[in-house]
Structure 1
Amino acid sequence: MKKGPFTFHLAEILLVVMVLFSAITLGFSSGRFIVSFNSVGFTVFSSLQKGVNSVVYFFTDKINGIRELSDLKKKYTALKEQLENYEFLKRQNSEFQKENDRLKSLLEFTETLEYKNIPARIIGRDPDSLYSGITINKGSMHGIKKGMSVIAVQNGDKGIVGKIVTVGYGASIIMPVYDSMCNISVRIQNTRDIGIISGTGTQDEHLKLNYIRKRFVADFHTGDIVVTSGENGNYLPDIPVGRISMITPLDYSSSLDIDVDPIIDFGRLENVIVIDMSKTVEK
């Protein structure tokens, strides 16, 4: 037989076959092949399980996120409502405090008066009538009578509001000082010059002070306070009516043309005091 580059002897082939057979037999007998198959199966199954778990976790996480977002939105809405309620209560408490301060000022002032006084609250205004009526919640049943003077305390300042012109059983109407039909005897507080103050028909315009002599013009200044004279017994004396805002000498008259700004801001007036000068208060 011709020998090639590689020659195998029978003895060598049998030796290799026996070694392989022995190794395979030993492997089956020791269970190593079974363990390897189990390992492969476990690896495949665990990888599949891991993938499924990842997908489940992803969707579960998203669902939980949506649920948490919904809960947060509800909590936000609830907190927003609580904040709005708090702000409302805060504003309401501020209004109560302001109301208490106003009533306290009224009470303190009424305690200094020697005449019977009746506190009242404004419940209506009628600027379109013959006079600019202001309606209050007190009437004859409370002792209100026609012609009684009305004053108020506002921002710590007392001032004339007007006088009662109509009386009902449970309500009355005030003619305010700015009404064109209202005329009040007054004095300039510093000089004690006497004159008559009249309304111009609207709360947004000046009052007019008449019959102040022109020759004493140098004695008067803007900012001077005009008070009630107390003459004729219609109004308490020395109650502020307004402040002089402009002084104009007139060539054709011996009197000055004087504009007066009311002490009382009628647009913000809420409470008043009606004075019964026919009855004094024992102290």
Structure 2
Amino acid sequence: MLLASSTEPAQTLQRVTTRALDPVRGAIMGMGEGVVGLFGALGEIDRLRSENDRLRGELAGAEQRITELSEAARENDELRDLLGIVEALEMELLPVRIISRDPSNLAWEAGIDAGTDHGLEVGMPVVGNADGAGALAGTVIAVTADTARVRFIVDTRSVVIAVDQASRALGEVHGQPGGQLVMVNVPVTEALAVGDTVVSAGLILGDEASRYPGGLLIGRIQAVEPDPNALTQTAFVRPAIDLGSVERLLVVLEFTQG
């Protein structure tokens, strides 16, 4: 009986202490769970970041592929148009690519990736694609073994004898600053109208044959103004080809003037 009585206070103290420490133990356990939860959240964040990086990489790859496919489709369309021009024009034509341009923009000239090794000579006409039709672009002015230089018809040093398709009026087409064209020395008695199509005449100049085949599209008349001399008129012509952005051309290796 004395032994039982002596242990009762100790048991009571143990129960009291246990109850007193329960909140502390709970807090510690809660802290442990919180730490585990924190590390779990950090791990999830890292996983999401990795997933985002992977998705960004896949998206960039897909965008690059779309760009490549779009460029390939554009080139295919351009080559198909050039092939159509080759088949339509009764001339020997060589497809070429523009590889350089005048960085000063003072001269409307460009380098192409073919030269004497491909049969090119100075003076050969150059044709471009105008919505599937062959349009006069310029002429070869210099050649090396594997490259050549083309001067576009919009260059201020360029002159082409041309004809208005509607009225059959003849005139000289000159290049203008800014990549435009004018048709000059047209008698005022000739009927020129806005919207008329202007093509190369292919006429003999004096004792020298024209360098350009006849019938190649040059552009369309945007405006007509009488000259101060009251004898001639000037037509402002919009080029059929955007020669500032064209990438592929056709060099006329041989043609028969009609």
TM-score bin, normalised by smaller chain: 0.7 to 0.9
Answer with 245-254 or 37-46: which moved more. Answer: 37-46
Deviation, 1:76, is 1.3
Q: Structure 1 pair 271/107, CA: closer, same or farther in 2 (3 Å)?
A: same
- Given that residues 189 and 225 in structure 1 are in contact (C-alpha distance below 8 angstroms), is that contact kept between their aligned partners in structure 2? yes
- Given that residues 127 and 133 in structure 1 are in contact (C-alpha distance below 8 angstroms), is that contact kept between their aligned partners in structure 2? no
In the other structure, the counterpart of 1:239 is 216
Answer with 152-161 or 115-124: which moved more. Answer: 152-161
| Residue 79 (structure 2) pairs with residue 107 (structure 1) | no
1:30-89 superposed Cα distances (whole Å, 9 cap, x missing partner): xxx999999878767766554332111011101111121122122112212221222222
- Given that residues 121 and 271 in structure 1 are in contact (C-alpha distance below 8 angstroms), is that contact kept between their aligned partners in structure 2? yes
Counterpart mapping for 1:95-174 below 5 A: 95-126=71-102, 132-174=108-150
Q: Secondary structure at the match of 1:227?
A: strand
Counterpart mapping for 1:79-94 below 5 A: 79-94=55-70
- Given that residues 102 and 154 in structure 1 are in contact (C-alpha distance below 8 angstroms), is that contact kept between their aligned partners in structure 2? no
Q: Secondary structure at the match of 1:110?
A: helix
- Given that residues 213 and 255 in structure 2 are in contact (C-alpha distance below 8 angstroms), is that contact kept between their aligned partners in structure 1? no
Q: What TM-score do you get using the length of structure 1 for normalisation?
A: 0.77
| Unaligned residue ranges in structure 1 (runs of 5+) | 1-24
| Unaligned residue ranges in structure 2 (runs of 5+) | 204-208
Instruction: Please give the alpha-carbon distance, in whole angstroms, between the structure 2 residues aligned to 1:94 and 1:184.
Output: 37
1:135-177 superposed Cα distances (whole Å, 9 cap, x missing partner): 1000000111111100011443431111111111000111110
Q: Secondary structure at the match of 2:244?
A: helix
Q: Secondary structure at the match of 1:272?
A: strand
Q: Secondary structure at the match of 1:208?
A: strand
Answer with 191-200 or 139-148: which moved more. Answer: 191-200
Q: Which of 254, 262, 268 in structure 1 is aligned with 2:245?
A: 268
Q: Structure 1 pair 233/252, CA: closer, same or farther in 2 (3 Å)?
A: closer
**Bigger helix fraction:** 1
Structure number with larger C-alpha Rg: 1
In the other structure, the counterpart of 2:199 is 227
- Given that residues 85 and 132 in structure 2 are in contact (C-alpha distance below 8 angstroms), is that contact kept between their aligned partners in structure 1? no
In the other structure, the counterpart of 2:234 is 257
Instruction: Please give the alpha-carbon distance, in whole angstroms, between the structure 2 residues aligned to 1:212 and 1:114.
Output: 30
In the other structure, the counterpart of 1:77 is 53
Instruction: Please give the alpha-carbon distance, in whole angstroms, between the structure 1 residues aligned to 2:93 and 2:74.
Output: 22
Instruction: Please give the alpha-carbon distance, in whole angstroms, between the structure 2 residues aligned to 1:107 and 1:34.
Output: 106
1:213-262 superposed Cα distances (whole Å, 9 cap, x missing partner): 1023xx32112110011223422221111111111112414110221111
Work out the number of aligned pairs and report it. Answer: 248
Q: What TM-score do you get using the length of structure 2 for normalisation?
A: 0.84
Deviation, 1:130, is 8.9
Instruction: Please give the alpha-carbon distance, in whole angstroms, between the structure 2 residues aligned to 1:171 and 1:92.
Output: 27
- Given that residues 159 and 240 in structure 1 are in contact (C-alpha distance below 8 angstroms), is that contact kept between their aligned partners in structure 2? yes
